[in-house]
Structure 1
Amino acid sequence: MSEKEQDTWHLYILRCRDETLYTGITTDLTRRFEEHQSNSPKCAKYLRGRQPLTMIYHTEFSNKSLALKAELKVKKLTASQKKLLASGHLVINEIADTH
């Protein structure tokens, strides 16, 4: 794996069968989605039994620190705001800190 690939982090939002949303980060978007979708032991506990999943949003960051900061911001959003982010009507840089 190249140094560039190792440094790339992905923030993603999944929509569950019950219409709830799940936000996470990973270095390998395809592998992580497959783990969540398969209900494997590596699947996030929240997602167990909520398949099928749909990835409604993802974006890249150059390092884990930036991805974690963005994930915290996104997790503080309402479901409606997350849907705006997924549709391109809101960008992460515009999300104000709530503190």
Structure 2
Amino acid sequence: MTDSEKTHQDWHLYILRCKDGTLYTGITNDLNRRFEEHQTNSPRCAKYLRGRQPLTMIYHTQFDNKSLALKAEIKVKKLTASQKKLLASGQLVINEIADTH
């Protein structure tokens, strides 16, 4: 891995559906690891998700850096559950709600 590859790390915004139907939005630089932490109730699992497994990832998208992912996360968290479902189904585009790409 080159130095430029070490400093460039993709970030992901994701939305999870819990077994009770509620939605959880987060960001990470390792999507598979983070999903596994949430799904298995590991000590690093978000408190909100404890006991709400199984989880389904209904949406994820990638960003070039943490700052862009955080800005998008803030905007997505302000959406209603219905709007988040539209985002997950492709009927709402992340660029329409966030100046991120």
TM-score with structure 1 setting the length: 0.92
2: distance between equivalents of 1:89 and 1:96?
Answer: 15
Q: Are the aligned partners of 2:72 and 2:98 in contact in 1 as well (CA < 8 Å)? A: no
Give the deviation of 1:92 after TM superposition: 1.2
Which blocks of at least 5 consecutive residues in structure 2 are unaligned? none
Equivalent position SS for 1:18: coil
Runs of 4+ in 1 over 4 A off after TM superposition: none
- Cα–Cα, structure 1 residues 13 and 4, in superposed 2: closer, same or farther, change >3 Å? farther
Alignment size in residue pairs: 97
- State the AA in 1 paired with 2:10: T
Corresponding letter in the other structure for 2:90:
G
Identity %: 85
- After superposition, where does 1:14-93 map in structure 2 within 5 Å? 14-93=16-95
**Partner amino acid for 1:29?**
L
Structure 1 stretches lacking a partner, 5+ long = none
CA RMSD of aligned residues (A): 1.9
SS at match of 1:50: coil
Q: TM-score, normalised by structure 2?
A: 0.90
